Structures are given as structure tokens and as C-alpha cells.
Amino acid sequence: MFNRQKIADIIEQKRKTFIHVSDCIWDYAETRFEEIRSADLLCKTLEEEGFSVERGVGGMETAFIGSYGSGGPVVAILGEYDALSGLSQDRGIASHHPIKQGGNGHGCGHNLLGTGSLAAAVAVRHFMEENQIKGTIRYYGCPAEEGGSGKTIMVREGLFDDVDTAISWHPYSFNAVASVTNVANYQVYFKFKGKAAHAAGSPHLGRSALDALELMNIGANFLREHIIPEARLHYAITNSGGLAPNVVQAEAEVLYMVRAPELEQVDEIYHRVCKIARGAAMMTETEVDIIFDKGCSNLIPNRTLAAVMYDNYRKVGVPEFNEEEKAFARQIRTTMPEPDKKSILRMLSQLPVDKNLIQKIKEQELSTVLMPYINKTFRMTGSTDVGDVSWIVPTVQCAVNCFAMGTQLHSWQAVAQGGTSIGHKGMLHAGKVMAATAVDILLQPEVIDQAKAELKENLDGANYVCPIPTEIKPALSR
Ligand SMILES: [Zn+2]
């Protein structure tokens, strides 16, 4: 037994610091591998709290590890702090209002994620000291979760090799610990090179890279019908070859994402997409360069750790909100289309959840329900680089309510709320749940043994293969 209230008190005593850090990261809104100021602020705060910090780990300037204690067990708390491009939005208002047109915004709440994890690590560190608990607590500063797979590279570089357990969380519009799994993915650039010409005077002399790109996309769209239904193909045209219609485009580039439940399935679909790209190049007498950008593995849930985290979540409780916050959440909900509002309920309808509980969730603008622990693996359609950590270290995550019910991630509504007291409350609460879970694990090394045995069983003899080849170095953009 240990005193969870003491852990919560440590976080409450430092709440101003954590809110300041979160709001600064929200303001900086730095995207993949550019999180210089965000990482620096987290590092400085860790140093002020007595952690030794190693910066620039894994060949990434904005990756770092803060460490306190010595020897085993080693518990890692994972933090993210990258924003998304094109999601600039003012905080605390219930209408779409970008601060800067085309600017960045924290649409996935990673300002909260990184700081909630910081709060957890700081609380564990002080609790360990006060109670003379053996072991090491580390904060993993993981850059570029969005589109860069910073953790995958950190795993590849061996930075998790001596870790016994990893703990993380994500802001959502509900409270839960679930045995969810996420899908694996690859992200790859296809760069077409053609030959410029006057589009009216000598089109026969030109070879259009843009034609090739469009033909590739048509091919990929036909491919969709002939891949497994769980797979997803997305693309963004990152270079359309210029703005002049009277110039045959000499270059064009498209960025593809391929997602599927297993890495092997991703790889198989990826090779079919490559064939389509080469076919498009052949049709147009252009050339294509295929440049692998990043990938991540599917998530391996760990029920042993989930049970420990759920028990701590139940004991710590859920975040509570005041009337002003509820009124703001109601305003935010008026901006959501009906299908958005119902999305969580649709997900719940697939799970064995009590009808009365669903009714309560329906009625609340800010959920105070802790979802029942469901011992059934539920597949989310998105991906996370936490997946790669989960292949080599038993890993557990929770969801903590930081947003009005139904808020979609990667939306302006998420950005607007992530800089308010609603987000702050969820973030500090996540810190308490994670810290209590970490202490519980440090005090029961046998749980780590069980979790490791479960991971081995779940992998069923499969070895971890990093989806990002060694020769691929992290890059801002290509
Ligand atoms: Zn996220």
C-alpha cells in the first residue's frame, strides 16, 4: 500500500509550473523534429526538478531522456510535444479562428500529453526520494509522433533496451484504460521527374511529372478495392510541379501513407503501390524516385499492466469540471456535426458496455465516467509510434478526458480546448494516474515479470523488426 494522495499533492503543489509548460508548448506549436523550444522547456523543467537530462539522443536534436534514481526496475514515462500543420486556432473560443492563417496548432493535444507525462515523472521522482523507493524513473522526450515516428527511431537506436515498463496516455473526450491496438504504417515519398516544355508550343517535347502523379493516384484508388478492408491508403500532393498551366511540369511529388493491422500487410500493400508508381512513370516516360520516410508498428496491448493502471485510475478517480467549463464544452459541441458527437458512442456500441453507463455518457458534455475495463482487444484505425515501444517493453496507456464529448482529434476544436482549464485539468489528472501506476509497479517487481511474460506470449515467437531501415535518418522534410 502507498499513499496516492501524496502523489496527487506533489502534482497539485506544482500545478502552476505544469500549466505554464503546457501553455508555452501550445503557443510554440512546433511540428515534427522542429520542437526546439518545446523540448528545451521540458528539459529545463526536468533539470530544475533534479533529473539528469541527456539531450539530442538517437540522432534527433529534439529527443531527450530525463533520468532519476539508479538501477532497476526502470520505468519509462513517454512524452510527446509536436503540433500539426494547418491547425492554427485561438484558445478558449468556440468558433474557428486561426491565430495565423495556415499556421500550426496542437490538434492532438500533445502539449497536454508531454506535460501530463512530465507531471507524472516529477511526482514519481519526489515520491521515490521521500519513500526511499529503489529503481529509476525516466522521462522519454519523444519528438515527431505525427509523421516522424520519433519513438520508432529511439527503439531502433537501443534507447529502450534496459527499460522494464513504459507508461503513457493520450488526451481524449473520455476516461479509459483499454486493451486497444493500433495499426502499423509506412510513410513514403514518390518523386516524379519529367521534362519541362511549352504546354502549347511544344507539348510533344515535354514529359509531365504531374500526369505521372495523377495516374499513380488513379491506380492507387483502384487498388483500394483489392486490399484488406482494415487497410487504409492516404496521400498528400506535396509538390504539384508549379503554378503555371502553360509549362509541362518537370517534377511532382506525392506523400503516401499505408496502414494495416500488421507490418507484413503494410509491406505487401506498399510494394503494390510501388508497382503502380513505376507503371505511371512508364506510361508517361518519366522517372520515379521512391523515398522511404518513416513507419511504425502495431501496438501490443499488455493486460497485466492495464489491470494495474485501471486499479490506480479507479482509486485516483476522474477529472471533475466546473459550470463554466461545462458551459464552454456545450458551446464547443454546438460546432460539431451530429456524426462527430456520436462517434464515441458508436465505438462503445461495439463493446460490452452497460446501457445505463452509455446513457450517462450521452447526457454529459464533459465525461466524468471511467469506462469499465474491457478485457477485449479493440482495434483503432489510427497508428502511433508507441507501437514500436510496446514490441520490446511491456507498455500501458490510458485516455483522460481533456475535451468536450465527441471532440475529434486533429480538429480546431481540440486546439481551442487544449489551451484551457479543461485541458489542464485532464493533463494534471493524467499525471496523477500515471504516477500512481509507476509507483505501484516500482513497488511490485513481480508485476514486471508477469508483464514481460505476457509480452513474450503475445508476440508468439515474432521478433521485432524496425520498420524504419537503419540508413533512414530522421529529417525535417525531404
Ligand atoms: Zn496524438
In tens, the pLDDT along 121-174 reads 999 999 999 999 999 999 999 999 988 899 999 999 999 999 999 999 999 999
Residues in Cβ contact with 382 at an 8 Å cutoff, skipping those fewer than 6 apart: 182, 183, 259
Distance 108 CA to ligand 1 centre (A): 4
Average pLDDT over residues 66-91: 96
Average pLDDT over residues 382-409: 95
Distance 172 CA to ligand 1 centre (A): 9
Residue 473: is its pLDDT beyond 90? no
Distance 330 CA to ligand 1 centre (A): 23
Instruction: Pinpoint the residues of the chain covered by CATH 3.40.630.10.
Output: 4-182+298-459
CA angle 335, 337, 339 (to 5 degrees): 145
Distance 333 CA to ligand 1 centre (A): 21
Q: What's the CA gap between 400 and 174, in Å, rounded? A: 6
Q: What's the pLDDT at 316?
A: 97
Distance 110 CA to ligand 1 centre (A): 6
What confidence tier does 379 reach under pLDDT thresholds 50, 70, 90? confident
Distance 168 CA to ligand 1 centre (A): 11
Distance 274 CA to ligand 1 centre (A): 28
Look at the block and give the residue holding cell 484504460.
177
Distance 269 CA to ligand 1 centre (A): 25
What confidence tier does 471 reach under pLDDT thresholds 50, 70, 90? confident
Residue 283: is its pLDDT beyond 90? yes
Which three cell numbers mark 397?
496507456
pLDDT digits (tens, 9 = 90+) for 286-323: 999 999 999 999 999 999 999 999 999 999 999 999 99
Q: What's the CA gap between 254 and 390, in Å, rounded? A: 30
Distance 349 CA to ligand 1 centre (A): 23
Q: What's the pLDDT at 355?
A: 79
Q: What's the CA gap between 167 and 439, in Å, rounded? A: 11
Distance 171 CA to ligand 1 centre (A): 8
Distance 109 CA to ligand 1 centre (A): 7
pLDDT digits (tens, 9 = 90+) for 10-50: 999 999 999 999 999 999 999 999 999 999 999 999 999 99
Average pLDDT over residues 394-414: 95
pTM, whole model, 2 decimals?
0.92
What confidence tier does 343 reach under pLDDT thresholds 50, 70, 90? confident
Distance 430 CA to ligand 1 centre (A): 15
Distance 170 CA to ligand 1 centre (A): 7
Average pLDDT over residues 430-453: 97
Neighbours of 421 (CB within 10 A): 15
Residue 477: is its pLDDT beyond 60? no
Which three cell numbers mark 419?
489551451
Average pLDDT over residues 361-384: 84
- Counting DSSP H helices and E strands in the chain, the numbers are 15, 12
Distance 474 CA to ligand 1 centre (A): 19
What confidence tier does 476 reach under pLDDT thresholds 50, 70, 90? low
Q: What percent of the chain has pLDDT over 90?
A: 87
Distance 130 CA to ligand 1 centre (A): 33
8 Å CB contact between 229 and 260: no
Distance 396 CA to ligand 1 centre (A): 15
Distance 148 CA to ligand 1 centre (A): 12
Distance 142 CA to ligand 1 centre (A): 12
Average pLDDT over residues 413-440: 98
Distance 219 CA to ligand 1 centre (A): 31
Distance 82 CA to ligand 1 centre (A): 9
Residue 98: is its pLDDT beyond 70? yes
Distance 51 CA to ligand 1 centre (A): 25
Average pLDDT over residues 420-441: 98
DSSP three-state, residue 374: strand
Which three cell numbers mark 50?
533534479
8 Å CB contact between 406 and 342: yes
Q: What's the CA gap between 247 and 168, in Å, rounded? A: 50
Distance 229 CA to ligand 1 centre (A): 24
pLDDT digits (tens, 9 = 90+) for 193-251: 999 999 999 999 999 999 999 999 999 999 999 999 999 999 999 999 999 999 999 99
Q: What's the pLDDT at 305?
A: 97
Distance 192 CA to ligand 1 centre (A): 31
Torsion of Cα atoms, 204 then 209 then 210 then 214, to 10°: 110
Distance 409 CA to ligand 1 centre (A): 7
Instruction: Pinpoint the residues of the chain covered by CATH 3.30.70.360.
Output: 184-296
**Pick the residue with more confidence: 52 or 469?**
52
Distance 83 CA to ligand 1 centre (A): 9
Distance 197 CA to ligand 1 centre (A): 44
Distance 286 CA to ligand 1 centre (A): 38
Distance 407 CA to ligand 1 centre (A): 13
Q: What percent of the chain has pLDDT over 70?
A: 99
Distance 107 CA to ligand 1 centre (A): 8
Q: What's the CA gap between 65 and 51, in Å, rounded? A: 9
Q: What's the CATH number of domain 184-296, 3.30.70.360, 3.90.1150.10, 3.30.1360.170, 3.40.50.300?
A: 3.30.70.360
The answer to whether domain 4-182+298-459 has CATH 3.40.630.10 is yes
Distance 198 CA to ligand 1 centre (A): 45
Average pLDDT over residues 267-280: 98
Distance 22 CA to ligand 1 centre (A): 15
Average pLDDT over residues 55-67: 96
Distance 418 CA to ligand 1 centre (A): 12
Which residues, chain by chain, have CB under 5 Å from ion ligand 1? 108
Distance 2 CA to ligand 1 centre (A): 31
Mean pLDDT, the chain, whole residue set: 94
Distance 449 CA to ligand 1 centre (A): 29
